Amino acid sequence: MKIIVCVKHAIDESELKADSSGKPELQDARTKMSSFDRNAVEEAIRIKETKGATVTILSLGTDEAKKSIKEALAMGADEGLLIQCNPAELDTLGTSYYLSQAIQRKPVDLVLCSEGSSDTYTGQVGPMIAEWIGYPFIGYARKIEIRENDVRCEQAYEDRVDVSEAKLPVVISVVNEINEPRYATLIQMLQASKKPIEDFRLESLKGSDAPHTQVSVIDVNVQAVNRKRIIFDGEINEAAKKLADALRNERVIKS
Amino acid sequence: MTVLAYSENSDLATETFTASRELANQLDCEALSIQLDELDKSIQVNGKVAVLKSERHLSGNPDLIVTALSNLVPKLNASVILIGATRLGRQVASQIAVRMRVSALSEVRSLKVEDAKLTGVRAVYGGRFTAKVSSGIPCVATIPTGTYQKNEGSPTSVEIISLDRMSEKVVHIETRPKIKGSTDIKTALIIISAGRGFKKKEDLLMLEKLAKRLDGAVGCSRPLSSDLGWMGEENHIGLTGAYVHPDLYVAVGISGQLQHIAGIRDSKIIVAINKDKQAPIFQIADYGIVGDLYEIIPALLKYLA
């Protein structure tokens, strides 16, 4: 079977700093494969290991995004595809459009993505890809069972787990509890550099139905933190008593 | 023109309706609460309601909901479709956007119409930053829980809209309920939350005892609900769970990953209890105790009579 995993090369949100005016320092920011995408890659490789499959990693961005593709190749994927563009110029409707165009050039049985990216977390691209192509979409899968011509999934919703089935080809988004992603060894990373990565030009994927970018980011600012940061240390009982008194003074608990 | 509001979660349905009313006022048009299959009396909506009916049961079936709502858009000349940002809601909103070829905003609050565009504010980069985003109209937007007031009252009118037969691509086989918590974290004034610092599930009894003493609700960080399954998903607070805004939030054994902090920023007072002095949770806490939670909770129980 053929699997495409969509991977985002994302800003590492845990390392992102604000400048003196409160704007994120995106120029020097560290980047990484979007955390939840590692689960989608892992799931594809597990399917490859148990059922046999070719795993293609698809991303959209500048050459920088090849870092994430290479990481996924080192984890065990077979080949990479990169849609060359400036991702900041596309909204989710456009991103999902071009990803779906690339997917349609490669006959595929399964498209995997994560529930959302770790940097901007819109959770839109997966279901949008399915809708552009007309494939069924199964969201928030915590378990995937591939069968002869269809797939059965457990979907983790807030208050329930739904068991659903759909015919292949299908788009599935996974939640991070589906598996524990592996880390590539140094040897795997060296071997991965020999695996092919094909480039697509954005223009070559643009059909007459390509959407215009409609969503724009006007302003990004650091969240102000105005907390007292009073630490009660020392003997536990004394600290607990001080905390209880402080909470009564704040009138957030009954005195 | 109409602003539509839908959520499968009844609390979020009324909050989403409040948002739709505010927008409808700005756009000088009507707000309409969309319900599926039958009128849900538990959804408080002081305004117009449309109940969508089909031969098939629509609730909980994303494919059918996408088709039903998309059919409604031209019929009602909908300019903005607001959907509660549950997992199902995010999926449905995204698919409607593509089907109707309109853009989509995800998890936005403080919605406004500015220069004929819809603007809103959303958390980005693990909740450490906020982005103001805008979209052309018509568009779809999802609304996170707890960002708008509940709408109170009863419907001023109820219209039944019958839809043609629809079919789905994903077949629903069965639903397994998850274990329900006792108190609702979204409305609680006091929340006591547990994180990885707890060694085993049974130890959460201590936490529950503390919550009970303070008449509060129990919450948790993502690992406890999703990886360990010690609590239900409805207790999960954070970027991918609920956003809460209690008067008092007590984080016990929670290190304070960005994803968790995103959900608790609007709390009035934050208390952190953690054995690691360097834990990021102390950076956003008003009060903290550094130490072993297994000693601190019993001590707190003693002084919080």
């609390």: which residue's tokens?
B11
Query: B15 and B130, same structural domain?
Result: yes
- Do residues B35 and B145 both lie within one domain? yes
More confident call, A162 vs B245: A162
Collapsed DSSP state (helix, strand, coil) of residue A146? strand
For residue B260 the two structure tokens come to 């968790």
Q: Which residues pair with B132 in a beta bridge?
A: A219, B121
Distances (CA, A) of B11 to B41, B83, B89, B232, B244: 12, 12, 14, 18, 14
Query: Do residue B63 and residue B124 come from a single domain?
Result: yes
Distance from CA of B301 to the nearest CA of A (A): 9
**Residue A255 pLDDT class (50, 70, 90 cuts):** low
Interface probe with A: pick from B287, B292, B296, B301, most Cβ of A within 10 Å: B287
pLDDT in tens for each of the 305 residues of chain B?
999 999 999 999 999 999 999 999 999 999 999 999 999 988 999 999 999 999 999 999 999 999 999 999 999 999 999 999 999 999 999 999 999 999 999 999 999 999 999 999 999 998 889 999 999 999 999 999 888 999 889 999 999 999 998 999 999 999 988 655 556 787 789 999 999 999 999 999 999 999 999 989 999 999 999 889 999 888 999 988 888 889 999 999 999 998 899 889 889 999 999 999 999 999 999 999 999 999 999 999 999 86
Q: What kind and span of H or E run contains A198?
A: strand A197-201
Amino acid of residue B19: A
Q: Which residues contact B174 (CB under 8 A, 6 or more apart)?
A: A162, A163
B205 and B293 belong to one structural domain: yes
Question: Which residue, among A61, A80, A56, has the nearest Cα to A5 in the 3D structure?
Answer: A56
Min Cα separation B295/chain A (Å) = 7
According to DSSP, residue A180 is labeled -
- The percent of residues in chain A predicted with pLDDT above 90, rounded, is 90
User: What is the pLDDT, as a whole number, of residue B52?
Assistant: 97
Same domain, B87 and B210: no
Residue B277 and residue B134 in one domain:
no
Domain range list for chain A: 2-205, 225-255
Interacting residues of A196 by C-beta distance below 8 A, sequence separation 6+: A79, A80
pLDDT at B90: 97
Nearest CA-CA distance, residue A135 and chain B, Å: 8
Q: Both B6 and B152 in a single domain?
A: yes
Indicate if B195 and B241 belong to the same structural domain: yes
CA B158 – CA B39 distance, rounded (Å)? 8
User: For residue range A185-197, what is the model confidence (pLDDT) as tens digits?
Assistant: 999 999 999 999 9
| Residue B57, domain member (yes or no) | yes
Task: Give the span between the Cα atoms of B206 and A43, in whole angstroms.
Answer: 37
Residues B34 and B145 in one domain: yes
* Residue A135 main-chain phi, psi, to 5 deg: -85, 155
Contact B283 A92 (CB under 8 A): no
Query: Which CATH number belongs to the domain containing residue B73 in this structure?
Result: 3.40.50.620
Report helix angle B293-303 to A236-249, nearest 10.
50
The pLDDT, as a whole number, for residue B183 is: 62
B185 and B234 in contact (C-beta within 8 Å)? yes
Asked if residue B20 and residue B56 are part of one domain, the reply reads: yes
- Average pLDDT for chain A: 95
B129 and A126 within 8 Å at the Cβ level: the answer is: no
Q: CATH number of the domain that B283 lies in?
A: 3.40.50.1220
Residue B183 lies in a domain: no
Q: Which structure tokens are listed for A235?
A: 């003997």
Considering the domain architecture, whether residues B110 and B214 belong to the same structural domain is answered as: no
Structural domain count of chain B: 2
- Name, in order, each residue with C-beta under 8 angstroms of A103's C-beta and a sequence gap of 6 or more: A4, A58, A111, A129, A133
* Strand locations in B195-237 (E): 217-220
Considering only CA atoms, give the Rg of chain A.
22
Residues A203-229 have a mean pLDDT of 93
Name the residue among B125, B277, B254, B265 with its Cα closest to residue A15: B125
Judge: B97–A128 Cβ closer than 8 Å, yes or no.
Answer: yes
Q: Among B12, B157, B168, which Cα is nearest to B82's?
A: B12
Please indicate whether, in this complex, the C-beta atoms of B173 and A165 are within 8 angstroms of each other: yes
DSSP class of residue B225 equals: I
Q: Does residue B179 lie in a domain region?
A: no
The reply to whether residue B90 touches residue A124, judged by beta carbons under 8 angstroms, is yes
pLDDT above 70 covers what percent of chain A? 100
Rounded Cα–Cα distance for residues A199 and A83 (Å): 6
B226 and B105, same structural domain?
no
ipTM: 0.91
Q: Is residue B225 part of a domain?
A: yes
- Bridge partners (DSSP) listed for residue A150: A167
Which domain, by its residues, includes B21? 2-162
**How far is the C-alpha of B131 from the C-alpha of B118, rounded, in Å?**
14
Question: Which residue of A121, A164, A229 is in closest CB contact with B173?
Answer: A164
Our CA-based measurement puts residue B31 at a distance from the nearest CA of chain A, in whole angstroms, of: 23
A2-205 CATH, one of 3.30.230.20, 3.70.10.10, 3.40.50.150, 3.40.50.620: 3.40.50.620
- What's the pLDDT tens digit per position in A10-32? 999 888 999 999 999 998 899 99
Q: Kindly report the pTM of this predicted structure.
A: 0.86
Q: Do A215 and B247 touch (CB under 8 A)?
A: no
Q: Identify the pLDDT of residue A160.
A: 87
CB < 8 Å to A227, chain B:
270, 283-286
